[in-house]
């Protein structure tokens, strides 16, 4: 059973607001990931981290930023939310042994009005 948590599960917020999506895992995984997914569509990697103080942008350009100050915590921040940011955001972490399976959190469904 994977121990990776995301809060909030659902968020409806107005344009221009600053938001932070929380992601925490208790498995001690070094690698963590953020994906963006529109309904019924594929997942796109927007950020990943190798470990503490290490973050990289993913394949899909995103206006969000991330930080990794602690191994277990990988929050994603939008400084000024826009309707185009409406999507589901999935956090994942990866173990350091084959097959390097990624464990996913339950996701945050964000709606920006």
Partner 1 sequence: AQKITQTQPGMFVQEKEAVTLDCTYDTSDQSYGLFWYKQPSSGEMIFLIYQGSYDEQNATEGRYSLNFQKARKSANLVISASQLGDSAMYFCAMRELGKAAGNKLTFGGGTRVLVKP
Q: Work out which of 87, 105, 110, 112 binds partner 1, going by CB under 8 A.
A: 105
Closer residue to partner 1, CB minimum distance, 73 or 109: 109
Stretch that binds partner 1, among 11-19, 42-50, 67-75, 79-87 (CB under 8 A): 42-50
* 3-state SS record for 23-50: EEECCCCCEEEEEEECCCCCCEEEEEEE
* Contact positions with partner 1 (CB under 8 A) in 7-36: 31, 33
Closest residue by Cα to residue 85 from 107, 101, 63: 63
Residues that bind partner 1 (CB under 8 A): 31, 33, 40-45, 48, 50, 56, 58-59, 88, 90, 92, 94, 98-107, 109
């Amino acid at each position: 059973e994977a121990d990776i948590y995301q809060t909030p599960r659902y968020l409806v917020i107005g344009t221009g607001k600053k938001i932070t999506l929380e992601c925490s895992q208790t498995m001690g995984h070094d690698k963590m990931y953020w994906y963006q997914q529109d309904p019924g569509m594929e997942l796109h990697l927007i950020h990943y981290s190798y470990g503490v103080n290490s973050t990289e942008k993913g394949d899909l350009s995103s206006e969000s930023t991330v930080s990794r100050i602690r191994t277990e915590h990988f929050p994603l921040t939008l400084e000024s939310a826009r309707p185009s940011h409406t999507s589901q955001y999935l956090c994942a972490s990866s173990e350091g042994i084959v097959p390097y399976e990624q464990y996913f959190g339950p996701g945050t469904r964000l709606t920006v009005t």
